[in-house]
């Protein structure tokens, strides 16, 4: 019997549509620990009522699906949901401590709307289009052959050069904002590189083709750049929506697909599902050359939200 590891996350109903056919025969053993003990009182069987596959799933890319169970799951000592990672698109407010940013009315609005305010001044000129305009203006004034003879002349030159800046320059700066914001978010998003996570599953081991008992082990998360360089030798591209770990004494193997890579959130101390087991290194498990690869869940938080609706 083929089995697939899944991670329980408490979510609203999954939208219908994009449904994988022939799902009525699929079952999920919730709370299972020893697969050879079907009489374990902690174990509960649920049928699958809906599966939503990522619309751009292909090969090893966008390797993620949502599964809706036929009945609610009762939490117990053996069954607990795990948290989703924080969405890198959900930001705290960052300002320059100007008076109108720290007024009583503004601070009260932050509190009423649960907006977290960073406690240091903004240091992000690259994200402010006006900074680039000041730079453009400065370059234009400096191209004049002689420096200004007075403040009044400098003001005159600044106004003259300001009027000469093409409107296309303004449009380009404004239109570049989404790309620059995305680049900064990607650079500052939590990558988990260097963190020791935890993997779990019933996959193959060195002693057997599968394990009846749920196994878990620590595993170091690796930098995607390092991982990408390794997999490039096999013609596999490591994308931002992937997460790599391994090259240690532990690894995933056959039968672990779909299982979680869990890490502790550094803000609240709770475990989050950082990755979903996707693929590993051929021909054997626990390669010392090619890291194992997971789907990076934080890259799909927005998609998960779009695939869900509140129960009626």
Domain annotation covers residue 280? yes
pLDDT digits (tens, 9 = 90+) for 140-199: 999 998 889 999 999 999 999 999 999 999 898 888 888 777 666 655 567 898 999 999
Q: Report whether 13 contacts 308 (CB < 8 A).
A: yes
pLDDT digits (tens, 9 = 90+) for 10-41: 554 443 333 445 676 788 888 888 988 888 88
Helix, strand, coil percent values for the chain (each to nearest 5): 25, 20, 50
Domain annotation covers residue 171? yes
Domain end marker among 133, 161, 187: 187
Count structural domains, the chain.
3
Shortest CA distance to 218 belongs to which of 202, 203, 196, 201? 196
Do 21 and 77 fall within a single domain? Answer: yes
In 278-294, which positions are buried (b, 16+ CB within 10 angstroms) versus exposed (e)? bbbbeeebbbeebbbbb
Q: Which H helix or E strand runs over 224?
A: helix 224-232
Do 132 and 171 fall within a single domain? Answer: yes
Contact partners, residue 97, CB within 8 Å, separation at least 6: 121
Do 200 and 74 fall within a single domain? Answer: yes
Do 195 and 297 fall within a single domain? Answer: yes
Cα gap 245→109, rounded to integer Å: 42
Do 198 and 298 fall within a single domain? Answer: yes
263: phi then psi, degrees, rounded to nearest 5: -135, 160
Q: CA 188, 193, 196, 197: dihedral to nearest 10 degrees?
A: 70
Domain annotation covers residue 268? yes
Domain annotation covers residue 265? yes
Do 67 and 145 fall within a single domain? Answer: no
Q: What is the pTM of this model?
A: 0.66
pLDDT digits (tens, 9 = 90+) for 52-82: 889 999 989 999 998 888 888 888 888 888 8
Cα gap 294→251, rounded to integer Å: 11
Domain range enclosing 158: 125-187
């Amino acid at each position: 019997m083929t089995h697939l590891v899944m991670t329980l996350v408490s979510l609203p109903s999954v939208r219908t549509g994009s449904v994988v056919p022939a799902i009525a025969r699929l079952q999920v053993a919730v709370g299972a620990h020893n697969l050879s003990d079907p009489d374990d009182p902690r174990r509960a069987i649920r049928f699958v009522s809906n599966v939503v596959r990522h619309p751009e799933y292909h090969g090893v890319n966008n390797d993620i699906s949502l599964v809706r169970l036929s009945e609610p799951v009762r939490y117990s000592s053996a069954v607990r949901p795990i948290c989703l990672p924080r969405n890198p698109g959900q930001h705290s407010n960052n300002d320059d401590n100007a008076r109108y940013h720290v007024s009583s009315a503004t601070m009260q609005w932050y509190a009423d709307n649960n907006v977290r305010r960073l406690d240091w001044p903004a240091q992000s000129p690259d994200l402010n289009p006006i900074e680039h305009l000041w730079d453009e203006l400065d370059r234009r004034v400096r191209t004049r052959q002689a420096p200004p003879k007075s403040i009044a002349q400098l003001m005159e030159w600044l106004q003259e050069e300001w009027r000469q800046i093409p409107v296309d320059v303004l449009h380009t700066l404004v239109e570049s904002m989404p790309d620059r914001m995305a680049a900064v978010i990607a650079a500052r998003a939590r990558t988990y590189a260097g963190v020791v996570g935890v993997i779990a599953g019933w996959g193959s081991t060195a002693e057997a083709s599968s394990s009846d008992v749920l196994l878990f082990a620590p595993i170091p998360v690796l930098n995607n750049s390092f991982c990408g360089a390794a997999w490039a030798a096999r013609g596999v591209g490591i994308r931002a929506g992937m997460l790599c770990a391994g090259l240690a004494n532990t690894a995933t193997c056959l039968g672990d697909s779909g299982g979680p890579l869990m890490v502790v959130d550094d803000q609240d101390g709770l475990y989050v599902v950082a990755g979903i087991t996707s693929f590993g290194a051929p021909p054997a498990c626990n390669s010392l050359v090619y890291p194992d690869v997971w789907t990076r869940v934080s890259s799909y938080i927005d998609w998960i939200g779009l695939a869900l609706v509140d129960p009626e």
